[in-house]
Amino acid sequence: MNLSDILAPGAVRIVSHLTSKKRLFQEIGEIVASVHGLNASVAIEGLQERESLGPTGVGHGIALPHARLQELQKIIGVFVRLEKPLDYDSVDRQPVDLVFALFAPKDSGVDHLKALALVSRTMRDAGVVAKLRANSDPAKLHAILTEARAPQAAA
């Protein structure tokens, strides 16, 4: 599995006007609806439901919200770079500016975890993160993410 299998070019955005996590989830819902035809309300509800179990802000300005949805046939992602960092209740209490949302079919099982691990490894790569923060072109951000070679998990 590669990020290019999960992240469509149109699902990468730069956003400047968000003031809350709720509004961020609405933006992600709108993106996934426009790019993948998924019902935005279903996507938002899935993200909020998962977030109620514990925040998905993993630290260092990065959040990995995710949800399993009955309506999906394959794992899809949305990447958002926020021009203004947002309070996200992250584990390190730092505001978030890089958000990679992941949506998986309800019955995806281990594939969902593999995709989440791939995204997590990629977003822990300091070089990738620096490039993401230094670029404002969605096409360039997509290329950075899909060309990144995340360190492989120990076998």
Say if residues 38 and 32 touch (Cβ distance below 8 Å): yes
Q: Identify the bridge partners of residue 80 per DSSP, sorted by sequence position.
A: 13, 99
Residue 40 host element (H or E) = helix 40-51
The one catalytic residue among 17, 36, 60, 66: 66
The span from the CA of 85 to the CA of 63, in Å, is 11
The residues, ordered by sequence, that sit 6+ positions from 87 with a Cβ below 8 Å of its Cβ are 21, 95, 96
Strands (E) located in 16-140: 57-59, 62-63, 66-69, 76-86, 96-105
The span from the CA of 79 to the CA of 28, in Å, is 8
Residue given tokens 């995710």 in the structure block: 66
Active-site residue, 66 included? yes
Q: Token pair of 45, please?
A: 């509800």
- Which residues are known catalytic residues? 66
